[in-house]
Amino acid sequence: MPTRHSEIERVFRAEHARAVAVLVRTFGDIDIAEESVQDAFATAVRRWPADGLPPSPSGWIITTARNRAIDRLRRESTRADRHAQAALLHADGRSGTAAQEGPVDDDRLRLIFTCCHPALAPAARVALTLRLVGGLSTAEIAQAFLVPEPTMAQRISRAKGKIRDARIPYRVPADADLPDRLGAVLAVVYLIFNEGHTASSGEQPTRDDLGAEAIRLGRLLAELMPDEPEVMGLLALMLLVESRRPARITADSELVLLAEQDRTRWDRALIAEGQAIVRRCLRRNQPGVYQIQAAINAVHSDADTAADTDWKQIWQLYDQLAAIAASPVVALNRAVAVAEVEGDEAGLALVDELDLDRYHLFHAVRADLLRRLGRDAEAAGAYDRAIARTRNPVEQAFLENRRQQIDDSGSRDA
């Protein structure tokens, strides 16, 4: 039976990270691993539609990629390329023991820690891991960072070169070295989760595979570092946000805002697990960025209806978050809470102080507050700016519908 391209895309989303990680362990070279996996998937696109899906798509991709890599290395090694010779030796198993060092035996987790080595700039660590482990395109990563695509491409290229030239080892660090590497690793996992929660581009509104992968990695990190409050906080945050996924997108692929969601569809098992972790974190009394965000989402999950939401507590939690990690995005979310407590004028005044023109949610929040205040012409312009700055089809459709409602209201009033 012929294989549809959608099935190949599903395999890519599910297996890209594992294939790259396995080949990095095998050859010790990120460029060779990534390019060989891309070659393997390109071959799959040509052959699978006619030949059908192989019994083990993952095994087929890894085997094909490994053969491509070996062929390339043999060609290059004949030209006295020392990197190629070293990679062939690595593939033969003569120098692969270092890859097994560390307390957790997971290829993808090893790859994350390699990409998050202190020798790399913090932004480069996150970008490279999103590329290799998350399977995101350069354009998607640029969108996540709110930077131009060429800037992100250069950042990723430099990071790969640094790993190669500095001979950064492919392994999970020893226990004593884990805390210094943790911040970048958590940032990577959270950004992967966010891309799964709301895809920055493509036809699908979400990427459930990335969300599941981020939670899987979060659980691995929690197993690895059970006494790290921020690891547990991130896991709780992802579980609580994920619990709302069934109510967030309708069967017709329409976005449903938190206030309008059918809360009976929320996953109560995930909520219970996330809230239990939050309570454990609170008992430790070592607040951090992810723990506070998890606590905010726990407050939302406590409310049986939107009207029951304790916005004063959420406002206080955003004050705590701003005290340890101030940012324009934190300030934007705090302004939303202020609007719910003090009124739309107060919230809008705070929003208008922010410099977030590239961020579509800034314009969406501003548009909503203006609409609620009856300032329809200004709201319409803000919706236009929000629409122009998002590539997610569901968000675009939602914003366009809100924009159209303003036009329809104006027509009725005329």
Measure Cα distances from 399 to 316, 357, 360 in Å: 29, 16, 10
Q: What angle do CA 193, 195, 198 make, to 5 degrees?
A: 110
Considering the chain, what is the average pLDDT of its residues? 85
First-to-last C-alpha distance (Å) of the chain: 59
Q: Are 231 and 221 a contacting pair, CB within 8 Å?
A: yes
Q: Tokens 């969300």 correspond to what residue?
A: 211
- Burial of 166 per CB tally in 10 Å (0-12, 13-18, 19+): exposed
Dist. CA 57–CA 53, nearest whole Å: 7
Q: Which of 123-127, 243-247, 261-265 has the lowest mean pLDDT?
A: 123-127
CA distance 95 to 101: 12
pLDDT surpassing 70 at residue 154: yes
Residue 160: what pLDDT? 87
What's the token pair of residue 382?
Answer: 């803000």
pLDDT category at 92 given cuts 50, 70, 90 is low
pLDDT for 74 equals: 81
Give the confidence band of 326 by pLDDT, cuts at 50, 70, 90. very high
Answer for the pair 163, 114: CB distance below 8 angstroms, yes or no: yes
- Helix or strand or coil: residue 249? strand
* Higher pLDDT pick, 131 / 241: 241
Global pTM reads 0.74
**Contacts of residue 195, Cβ cutoff 8 Å, sequence gap at least 6:** 130, 134, 136, 140, 144, 207, 210
Are 367 and 351 in contact by the 8 Å Cβ rule? The answer is no
Q: How far apart are CA 92 and CA 11, in angstroms?
A: 28
The dihedral built from the CA positions of residue 162, 163, 167 and 172, taken in this order, carries a sign that is positive
| Helix, strand, coil % in the chain, rounded to nearest 5 | 75, 0, 25
| Strand-pair partners of 249 | 255
Q: Where in the chain is the domain with CATH 1.10.1740?
A: 1-95
pLDDT tens by residue, 347-399: 999 999 999 999 999 999 999 999 999 999 999 999 999 999 988 888 999 99
Q: State the burial class of residue 43 (Cβ atoms within 10 Å of its Cβ: 0-12, 13-18, 19+).
A: middle
Rounded Cα gap, residues 313 and 14, in angstroms: 39
Residue 21's pLDDT is 85
CATH number for the region 1-95 comes to: 1.10.1740
Close Cβ partners of 176 (under 8 Å, ≥ 6 residues apart): none
Instruction: Please report which confidence band the pLDDT of residue 192 belongs to, taking 50, 70 and 90 as the band edges.
Output: confident
pLDDT over 90 percentage in the chain: 45
